[in-house]
Structure 1
């Protein structure tokens, strides 16, 4: 079932002079205060990275004990560690979703089954659709690329002894109040992944973390290389966990809600475009006939958007677009109208 390009990511769509609607990183980031904290850490590059302060800061941020936390070089490393540390008899990935987890599992030699959520159902999860004998399950929340936020109750229903349940919450801090987060839940086998990439614009720095019961964390740490997170990335983890950062992130999530509502309203006036489900992430999934041709035409007019046909469960008639400020959204909708004639 390697019929999709699981290694394709939105950054390859971006080019010089194009308005970037292909990558789900918040605009105008990182903020200057965060850059200053990272820059200050550069004087310590001669020493090996020490994680103690960053571990403590992130643990306090989420109200958890440090032994339930593992810092990683972005969410991508977390997926690789999972593929190395566990030997599932039946791994299941719920799609459409970020393709990196399945790619990592396959690269490690595991077979992977897919549970495909349907647009007709608003891409909502039915816990009963996941096979009972699955001992490793991966799902995103809110899910990339559908932007659907699954109820925490439905996710907890997937947890059980003997199963590792991986919930990718890379975009959860973009949801005001994080109402459906399961980070900190006492569910058996639960493993939650977080990233600092999206809200803070740190894709080039590679920093994230995972939260799980201490036994699972120990198994993952055992297959992680020494000093996996750089000194500048550790400085970013500390800075993004303080009260100032939390307040900033909350405001950014609220602003994102307003920007997304504006974009949804504009697209609702374009008859050829359909959306499914309720979007809660910093991106929208669109269905329109001939999306591949439309994507090329948009590119010729200055907009980079993410193709949808590399996500299992989707096909050539899907595009993902990042939420951007109102002026950019209005120009995009105007250009899309022109392209669609």
Structure 2
């Protein structure tokens, strides 16, 4: 690759979840690591025995059709004709960014870095903006809703207004709802996927705790959905992913039960941090976001104890923390916070943990 092309595309950023990097930073940390750096549900959808044909045969087109129908019902999209299944939302990004001619792309940030990188891959001049109103003159606008990492919500009515503004000028609004499974359902724009000038992205990996399955969806008007499916080609989604997603997306009882569990555990996490003087300022029930002037000390202190949080180059006082998977993880996090607090204020440890 030529240097100028490499600079235009940009490097893939660290998005959290890299235990290899964590071990390099903290070579003496105890194992196993507790990875709280992602927003992935630690209580994954229960795995089950897959039919041998999921591995030995090419995926049947009928299964893909069935999956699109199940996804449409789960996400309250207009219908299966509006749904495209792909091997991860990440794969969809360059295709979706190429739905409009290269122009001005604006990403409402700070947020997940891959949207901007994918837009550059598609030839757009990319700008990250902090004001929703600043998206209005873009050719391509990207909103993550709920936002990662701070959980910001843009109301559905505002998104629809922006989509119409962009459509009238031949533009496109992309709304990434990777975390909407735990967001306010009334603000989801998935049910509006029939509208022109709009593409909605959904992901299986976050809420279902199945990131390794690599399955995502684009929801769009049928013409756009068909074009994206054509670009992906046949057998884009693996047989095992199809079988797992059909079961998981269709299990509405599990969805509701898990939403309640995550809400309880995120409240528990808020209370734990509050005991040590940290106020949560945002996030979702899958991850919590906060800012503290002691970021480096806290990140390092927990890292030395084998507990990984997510930090950000754009805000050196910000951290994101996911949910521990079990009681042992909760105890290690509590002990780690107590040790950090004691090192900061040695005389207050007994008072804090009592």
Superposition TM-score, scaled by structure 1 size = 0.84
Q: Is the 8 A contact 1:174 1:249 kept in 2?
A: no
Relative to structure 1, the CA distance from residue 209 to residue 43 in structure 2 (aligned partners, 3 Å threshold; closer, same or farther) is: closer
Relative to structure 1, the CA distance from residue 43 to residue 208 in structure 2 (aligned partners, 3 Å threshold; closer, same or farther) is: closer
- The equivalent position to 2:265 in structure 1, one of 234, 246, 259, is 259
Q: Distance in 2 between matches of 1:137 and 1:108?
A: 13
Corresponding residue for 1:172? 180
- The equivalent position to 1:115 in structure 2, one of 129, 132, 137, is 129
Could you give the per-residue CA deviations for residues 164-199 of structure 1, whole angstroms, max 9, x where no partner exists?
Answer: 111111111123x62311111254412111111012
Deviation, structure 1 residue 235: 1.3
> Tell me, what secondary structure is at the counterpart of 1:148?
coil
Deviation, structure 1 residue 330: 5.8
Q: Distance in 2 between matches of 1:150 and 1:334?
A: 37
Could you give the per-residue CA deviations for residues 189-216 of structure 1, whole angstroms, max 9, x where no partner exists?
Answer: 1211111101222211111111111222
Q: Distance in 2 between matches of 1:190 and 1:71?
A: 17
Q: Is the 8 A contact 1:127 1:154 kept in 2?
A: no
What's the RMSD between the two structures over aligned residues? 2.6
Corresponding residue for 1:23? 38
Deviation, structure 1 residue 279: 3.4
1:97 aligns with 2:104: no
Could you give the per-residue CA deviations for residues 95-128 of structure 1, whole angstroms, max 9, x where no partner exists?
Answer: 1211111121223332211112xxxxxxxxx532
Corresponding residue for 1:45? 56
Moved more, 55-64 or 186-195: 55-64
Structure number with larger C-alpha Rg = 2
Could you give the per-residue CA deviations for residues 282-331 of structure 1, whole angstroms, max 9, x where no partner exists?
Answer: 1111212242343122111121111222xxxx322211110336844464
Aligned length: 318
Q: Is the 8 A contact 2:145 2:154 kept in 1?
A: yes
Q: Distance in 2 between matches of 1:43 and 1:181?
A: 32
- The equivalent position to 2:249 in structure 1, one of 208, 227, 241, is 241
Segments ≥4 residues shifted beyond 4 Å: 13-16, 41-44
Q: Distance in 1 between matches of 2:81 and 2:319?
A: 40
Q: Is the 8 A contact 1:84 1:223 kept in 2?
A: no
Could you give the per-residue CA deviations for residues 131-174 of structure 1, whole angstroms, max 9, x where no partner exists?
Answer: x3212111111111112333222322321222211111111112
Deviation, structure 1 residue 44: 5.3
Q: Normalized per residue, which structure has more helix?
A: 2
Corresponding residue for 2:209? 201
> What stretches of structure 1 of length at least 5 have no aligned partner?
117-125
Moved more, 147-156 or 40-49: 40-49
Could you give the per-residue CA deviations for residues 215-250 of structure 1, whole angstroms, max 9, x where no partner exists?
Answer: 2223323432432111111112211232xx111111
